[in-house]
Amino acid sequence: MVDTNRLATSPSSTVIGEILSEAPVKRRRPEPTAIVIFGATGDLTSRKLAPALYNTMVDGALSEPTVIIGISRGELSPAAFADKLRAGVTEFSRQKVEPAKWDKFAGMLDYVGGEFAEDATYIALKGRLEAAKHKGTKGNRVFYLSVPPALFPLILQKLHEHKLIEKAVQGNGVPSCRVIVEKPFGRDLKSARELNEMIGKFLDESQIYRIDHYLGKETVQNILVLRFGNSIFEPIWNRNHVDYVEITASESIGIEGRGAFYEATGVVRDVIQNHLLQVMSLVTMEVPASFSPDDIRDEKSQVLRSVRPLTLNEVANDCVRGQYRGYREEQGVAPESQTPTYAAMRFMIDSWRWQGVPFYLRAGKKLAERLTEVSIHFKSVPLVLFKEEAAGSVLQPAVLTLRIQPHEGISLRFVAKVPGENISVGNVVMNMTYADAFKRPISEAYERLLLDCMRGDATLFNRRDSVDRAWELIQPVLQVWEATPGVHIYEPGTAGPAAADEMMGRDHHSWRELHPG
């Protein structure tokens, strides 16, 4: 019998979420840690890192003492640094900033002002870390490099020279030393490998945490539980039952004043090479031996190795690039720019499970809707009983959709009989959102990822071989597109260029419709 005291119901969707025992996979609280943020006065810290750390403190997820040390140009006292962060935390935190809780958070903050190239900066940082150790952090350190990748070598070299990092396999019984690096991790295969080699001189792979905030999303994490915790899905999660899969990351906003950055990056490097290929690997990977980080990342890497490399002809036919009208008038953008703000690609996976199933990935700016989701389109039924419905496009195949943002959840579209005397069929959509089903707040991705790094859990972080393989798959697209003009202009607020619809249409497939507003 189900214990109704342990259920949460959603009146809007009538979804019931039963909260089962968390004991087998309960997350342990991290050890007391000193968190050092390089680029502490930047936008990422204000919008994401400081709100995430504040929320984890309010939730009681941090061990005491936890010390947060900001490093940036310009002199600030710890109190002034706290005041600078407060506006961002107030605006972007999922929890209200209350005076007593803020005072506690502000008491965790420290600050070192100085240039990243100057030894004095690291001498001062060493003193702060020693003070944190005496408070009880036990020498545990996390360095967050919230700076452009060009600064990674300089900062790591200085940290090494001042003995603030050491190359060592992470394990029990010794103080931890970990480094988080932000994307973009390289701009092509060559630069990514050079960056990996450089970081590898100073750190063991077990100390390197390549962050991808998409992998911290609730739905992305739930892909593994959905697939491997429900016996009804695994038998149909293959080429025998799946017709095609589409993965979408659409944004309704433009480049938001980041013209120079976007000109050097573009949508392929910004979203597809990292976010969408990593999500695809979670959707398609084989059953791991366990939920341990290495077992999961082994399977993700294996499925990426099974993705068929694109030929130059396939880049021409199965990859579409677009640019929203008005992009070239943005500040910092070249007047004749060919930088894509939209991209759609078709990949095939040469494995026993997925042979013959196309995977369509698309991402873009200034589209009709803000949406990130994975849609599994199942094959049509034999039309012996439903010839008339099929002819009228009433009978549509079942679709399982995993919504990553906004409103994280799962929906299933299937066919049902319409009430009445006649045998009439209609399409039904069942929706589940995590927040409604379990009546629990959804943590922001950075909250989970920061805690995992402090715990030493690298499951949701990208490993070196996976990063290399993702760049190998994208490299032909970059080479062709950067050598030849041909971007399709699309109107803001639409679904993107018509060429992307034509690309899917050749396979008799179509994109999920984007709805304005």
For the annotated catalytic residues, the residue numbers are 275
| Residue bearing tokens 């025992």 | 21
3-state secondary structure 395-458: CCCCEEEEEEECCCEEEEEEEEECCCCCCCEEEEEEEEEHHHHHCCCCCCHHHHHHHHHHHCCC
Q: Residue 231: CA atoms inside 13 Å, Cβ hemisphere, count? A: 0
Q: At what angle do helices 50-58 and 99-106 cross, to 10 degrees?
A: 120
Distance CA(318)–CA(323), nearest Å, equals: 17
A 10 A CB-CB count for 391 gives: 10
Enter the tokens of residue 153.
């070598």
C-beta of residue 71 within 8 angstroms of C-beta of residue 40: yes
Residues 125, 85, 151, 65: is their CA dihedral positive or negative?
positive
- The partner residues of 344 in beta bridges, in order of sequence, read 320, 362
Is the distance from CB of 109 to CB of 82 less than 8 angstroms? yes
Which residues have a Cβ under 8 Å from the Cβ of 502 and sit 6 or more positions away? none
177 pairs with which residues across the strands? 141
CA 202 to chain centre: 26
Q: 3-state class of 280 per DSSP? A: helix
- The answer to whether residues 468 and 302 touch, using CB atoms and an 8 Å cutoff, is no
> Which amino acid is present at 311?
T
Number of Cβ within a 10 Å radius of residue 51: 24
Q: Quick one: tokens of 248?
A: 């979408």
DSSP-assigned states of every residue in 143-207: EEE-S-GGGHHHHHHHHHHTTS-------TTS--EEEEEPSP--SSHHHHHHHHHHHHHHS-GGG
**Pick from 453, 448, 402: which is nearest to 225 by CA?**
402
